[in-house]
């Protein structure tokens, strides 16, 4: 990685929706949660789009086709075409197509999204290790995926057939809790075969490349809720990112982020697209943002002042990341975050 180490969130005098031509939005925890729109998402995206920002949706979930995702978003009040949805199934299909002959057979362990993406690249999805596949691909298959599918993958992978995975997210959030994601399914085949798959999804380059190829974005802003997929993917692609706190990341995790997990900007929710971002400025041995001042002491991060909670968090980020440098901040931030209600 060639970037210098980020030690504070950046400011922006312009609304982010004007400073960037395309938002590359994660879905779960950013736009919706458990199928329902996240607070402020629908209105904020409408305003950003009316202002000329191109909106694209980037998901590691390989089960649903872009058509199905677009219909879901449209039903939530976010008018979306299938072309504006990029999935890890599309990214892995392109990766496979570059390594196997045109029209090759590919053994699919997963759902409809994978099959559609393979056909789009001229590849033929097959269901059995006996179908002479040139590759094996694994993507999230949903709760009905039978155990026997993993056996098919193992038979082929053990023979040396190249193995691919759409993504390796270990978990997938659902209405009843956290379930096993495709990464957990990949572990089953890895344990049984000892082989290693090639992976396409966030935070890896094939997914970012697919997104840029399909959107034509020139000045993209990655918008996500997860540090180790969305924000790290942006870091790996050398593009700017906005972390929103409507999903899986809390203030403590953000303060402890290593360099590749530090977003360019942080905001509470998607309203952050529509505004500028305040500067964080060095002040003595600490940092100020809005009405807050943060400083790193011997064992903890301290916060003084008052104002918007997000400004306090931005000042704390600067104090934490500056102390951590290329590592991870281990100072106690509990009291400071409690003052902000974060
Ligand atoms: Mg997410």
Give the Cα separation of 277 and 85 in Å (integer).
27
Give pLDDT, residue 3: 60
How are beta strands 135-138 and 163-165 bridged, if at all? parallel
Per-residue confidence in pLDDT tens, the chain, 342 aa: 446 899 999 999 999 999 999 999 999 999 999 889 999 999 999 999 999 999 999 999 999 999 999 999 999 999 999 999 999 999 999 999 999 999 999 999 999 999 999 999 999 999 999 999 999 999 999 999 999 999 999 999 999 999 999 999 998 877 788 889 999 999 999 999 999 999 999 999 999 999 999 999 999 999 999 999 999 999 999 999 999 999 999 999 999 999 999 999 999 999 999 999 999 999 999 999 999 999 999 899 999 999 999 999 999 999 999 999 999 999 999 999 999 999
Q: Which residues contact 160 (CB under 8 A, 6 or more apart)?
A: none
Residue 216 burial (C-beta neighbours within 10 Å; 0-12, 13-18, 19+):
exposed
Q: Are 57 and 254 in contact (CB under 8 A)?
A: no
Q: Ligand 1 centre from 262 Cα, in Å?
A: 16
CATH architecture for residues 89-198: 3-Layer(aba) Sandwich (3.40)
CA atoms within 13 A on the CB side of 248: 18
In this structure, the chain runs to a length of 342
Q: Are 89 and 139 in contact (CB under 8 A)?
A: yes
Give the Cα separation of 48 and 123 in Å (integer).
37
- Protein residues near ligand 1, an ion, with CB under 5 A: 26, 28-29, 225-226, 247
Q: Ligand 1 centre from 223 Cα, in Å?
A: 9
For every residue of 33-74, DSSP letters joined together read: ETTEEPTTHHHHHHHHHHTT-EEEEEE---SS-HHHHHHHHH
Q: Which residues contact 113 (CB under 8 A, 6 or more apart)?
A: 61, 62, 63, 64, 65, 66, 68, 87, 89, 139
Q: Ligand 1 centre from 51 Cα, in Å?
A: 25
Q: Ligand 1 centre from 128 Cα, in Å?
A: 32
Structural tokens at position 246: 């409507």
pLDDT in tens, 263-299: 999 999 999 999 999 999 999 999 999 999 999 998 9
Q: Where in the sequence numbering do the catalytic residues fall?
A: 26, 28
Is the sign of the CA dihedral 264, 265, 266, 268 positive or negative? negative
Give pLDDT, residue 1: 42
Give the Cα separation of 152 and 58 in Å (integer).
29
What's the CATH class of domain 16-87+204-274? alpha beta
Q: Are 214 and 208 in contact (CB under 8 A)?
A: no
Q: Ligand 1 centre from 247 Cα, in Å?
A: 6
Q: Ligand 1 centre from 71 Cα, in Å?
A: 19
How are beta strands 220-224 and 301-305 bridged, if at all? unpaired
Q: Ligand 1 centre from 74 Cα, in Å?
A: 19
Give pLDDT, residue 2: 46
The separation between CA 313 and the C-alpha centre of its own chain, rounded to angstroms, equals 21
Domain(s) labelled CATH 3.40.50.1000 in the chain stretch across 16-87+204-274, 89-198
């Amino acid at each position: 990685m060639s970037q210098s180490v980020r030690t504070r969130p950046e400011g922006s005098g312009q609304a982010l929706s004007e400073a960037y031509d395309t938002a590359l939005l994660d879905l779960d925890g950013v736009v919706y949660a458990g199928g329902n729109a996240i607070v402020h998402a629908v209105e904020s995206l409408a305003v950003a789009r009316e202002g000329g920002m191109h909106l694209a949706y980037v998901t590691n979930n390989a089960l649903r086709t872009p058509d199905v995702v677009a219909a879901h978003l449209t039903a939530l009040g976010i008018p979306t075409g299938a072309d504006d949805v990029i999935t890890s199934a599309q990214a892995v299909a392109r990766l496979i197509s570059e390594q196997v002959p045109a029209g090759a057979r590919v053994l699919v362990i997963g759902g409809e999204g994978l099959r559609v993406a393979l056909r789009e690249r001229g590849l033929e999805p097959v269901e059995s290790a006996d179908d002479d596949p040139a590759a094996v691909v694994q993507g999230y298959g949903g709760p009905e995926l039978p155990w026997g599918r993993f056996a098919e993958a193992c038979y082929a992978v053990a023979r040396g057939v190249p193995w691919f995975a759409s993504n390796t997210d270990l978990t997938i959030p659902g209405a009843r809790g956290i379930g096993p994601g495709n990464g957990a399914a990949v572990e089953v085949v890895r344990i049984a075969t000892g082989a290693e798959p090639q992976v396409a999804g966030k935070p890896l380059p094939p997914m970012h490349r697919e997104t840029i190829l399909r959107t034509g974005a020139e000045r993209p802003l990655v918008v996500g809720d997860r540090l180790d997929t969305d924000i790290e993917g942006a870091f790996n692609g050398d593009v700017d990112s906005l972390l929103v706190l409507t999903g899986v990341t809390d203030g403590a995790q953000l303060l402890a982020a290593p360099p590749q997990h530090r977003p360019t900007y942080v905001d509470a929710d998607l309203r952050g697209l529509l505004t500028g971002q305040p500067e964080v400025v060095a002040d003595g041995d600490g940092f100020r943002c809005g009405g807050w001042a943060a400083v790193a002491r011997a064992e903890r991060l301290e916060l003084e002042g008052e104002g918007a909670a997000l400004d306090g968090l931005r000042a704390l980020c600067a104090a934490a990341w500056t102390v951590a440098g290329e590592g991870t901040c281990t100072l106690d931030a509990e009291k400071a975050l409690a003052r902000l209600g974060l």
